[in-house]
Amino acid sequence: METLLKLTTPLDCTMAYLTGQSDQPDGGPTFDWEYMPKYAKLSDYLEAGVYRKALWATKDDPRRTTEGDLIYNDLRLIGWEYSLFKLKDRSMDLLNLVEGDLITAAHGEMHKKDIRLVPGRLVVVRFGIDEIRAAETSLRLVEVEGDEVRLVTKSSVANEDPIVLGKKLDRDDGLNMYRAKPMGVAWVMALAVRATRNLPLLDAEEISPE
């Protein structure tokens, strides 16, 4: 290492360049491989009003791998982890998010990071009603009216009932879970940070030579 340090002067470059941490010999921005896109399995579908077992809870479901895709980290959220979800309804089409969009969502390790519910943020939430053993996983917009926090959909077709959050539950596992009104529990799983859309491709024989 000392020898490399001595070489920086005659070669007119930085130590980071010699050790491969930077591709800029003059000390430009260091490229961080942590932010390269990675392949991710699909965590779950986002469907407001549909109560079912979560896709991530069925580890052998082939859709987790066949519907996986590239996932991109977010430079605004250093140290967070990311999961990939797929929007399966029109619950957010007024926000230009349509069925089939892939949603990248950020969360802490094992989901143990506080997610502030700021008006205008989009969050992935898992909501269960006390009498039903299944739950919905959906994409929701945070709205605040007075002291009340509401997680809502924005659909041109029909909006689901808002999830109205009550007191945050004191849990040893650190999950962002709330008592929801009138009855139920809402787990704010992650903060939505990116939407990507795969465009359809024509088959080769359908492409006109003109």
Domain ranges of the chain: 34-196
The CB-side HSE value for 90 (13 A sphere, CA atoms) comes to 5
- Rounded to two decimals, what is the model's pTM? 0.78
Mean pLDDT within 105-119:
91
pLDDT of residue 30: 46
Which residue has better confidence, 82 or 199?
82
With a cut of 90, say whether residue 163 has pLDDT above it: yes
3-state secondary structure of 206: helix
Residue type, 41: K
How do strand 185-196 and strand 122-128 relate by DSSP bridges? Answer: antiparallel
**pLDDT tens-digit map of 166-175:** 999 988 777 8
Looking at CATH, the fold of the domain delimited by 34-196 is given as Umud Fragment, subunit A (2.10.109)
Which residue has better confidence, 96 or 206?
96
Which residue has better confidence, 59 or 207?
59
Q: Which helix (H) or strand (E) element contains residue 6? A: helix 2-11
Distance of alpha carbon 151 from alpha carbon 126, whole angstroms: 11
Which pLDDT band holds residue 73 (cuts at 50, 70, 90)? confident
Most confident range (mean pLDDT) of 7-11, 37-41, 48-52 is 48-52
Mean pLDDT within 87-110:
95
Which pLDDT band holds residue 17 (cuts at 50, 70, 90)? low
